Structures are given as C-alpha cells and as structure tokens.
A = this chain, B = another copy of it.
Amino acid sequence: MVVTRTRLTAEERQEQLLHAALTAFSTGGYSGTTTDQVARLAGVSQPYVIRIFGTKQQLFLATVRRAGDRIEQRFREAAAEEPTLASLGCAYDELLAERELITVLLHGFTASADPAIGPIVRDCFGRIYRTIRELTGAGEDEAREFLAMGMLLTCLGAMRVVGPDAVPREPWMTELLGPDQV
C-alpha cells in the first residue's frame, strides 16, 4: 500500500522535521527556539522530535549540517552552469532571498561558543570556502572578498535590510547596497 499511508518512515519524518527545524531555528536561533515549535511546524508531538534526534542540540547540529550541505549544493549547481564567482554570486543572492539556509548558518556562528557546536559549524564554513575555490578556481584574495561580501549580505539579511519582508529602505541602506541592489 503506497497511496494512503497515515504514517511516515523514520527517515521521511526526519527529513520533514529537518525542514521544520530549518524554518524554526532560522528565526529563533539555537536557544531562542523550542523543540515544541519545531514539532508544531511539522505537525507532530514535541516528545517525538526528541525521540528522533535524541536532544535539541543534536537536532540543531543536524539542521546546521543540512544548511551547509544545501548551500554547497546550490553553489555546485550554479558552477555547473558557469564556473565563475559571478555565477556563485547569483546563487548566493537566491539563497539570500529565501533567507532560511543562510540565516541558520549565521545562527550557527553565534552558537559556536558552545564547544559541541563550534567544530561542526567551522567544518561547514570551511567546506563552503573550499567549495567556492575549487568550483571557480578563484585565488585566495578573490575568494576572501567574495566570502566577505557574502557575510555582509548575510548580516544584512538577518537585520531585515534585505530578503523577504525587508524593512523600508533608509538612505544608508540604499547607499550601502549600491547600484545593483539585491
């Protein structure tokens, strides 16, 4: 029976929960998000979330890893079209327009003081850096500047200066974003 199944396999459910967690953590961050919020988003009970991931921390770590993987994947797709920094830049703009993936990673940065979280986050970031260089053949300086601009946009996204439901543009925002507004 495939058509009407009321229950999902653990793997399917895990996938669905990860999606919900991505949304939840992306706005509340690690300590600002409850496992119950994630559960409600996915339409299951809170204890079940814990049962699947063990602890809230494990859930967050899985979410950060997922975000890192997805970002990397999007870069690879962009590079398949055209292996340049400009192409990856467009991909980044798209990611920024969705906000979730990028913001979860940023929340990972700020949770890195926790010794259980830091290593995973650094690994994600390092992988992204390497991916950018490998895909585009960019030199150290180019890659650094690309990443720097990415981090600026990421912060502006978190601040609601760019991205979905961004705040009305004040003069300094328009200046800072420059002519090719995101």
Contacts and interface: CB of A to CB of B under 8 A. Distances in A.
A148 B152 contact: yes
Contacts of A176: 129, 140, 143-144, 147
Interface stretch (A39-47, A66-74, A80-88, A119-127): A119-127
Count copies of this chain in the complex. 2
Given A106-B109, A145-B145, A148-B145, A126 B172 contact: yes
Contact of A29 (B27, B103, B110, B122): B110
A143 B178 CA distance: 11
Interface residues of A, number: 45
A126 B173 CA distance: 7
A65 to B, nearest CB: 15
Interface of A: 27-32, 103, 106-107, 109-113, 118, 121-122, 125-126, 129-130, 140-141, 143-145, 147-152, 154-155, 158-161, 167, 170, 172-173, 175-176, 178
A106 B130 CA distance: 24
Given A152-B144, A154-B151, A178-B140, A159 B32 contact: no
A161 B109 CA distance: 11
A159 B31 contact: no
Given A112-B160, A129-B175, 17 more contacts: A28-B31, A29-B29, A31-B32, A107-B110, A109-B158, A112-B159, A118-B160, A122-B159, A122-B160, A122-B167, A125-B155, A126-B172, A126-B173, A129-B172, A129-B176, A141-B178, A144-B176
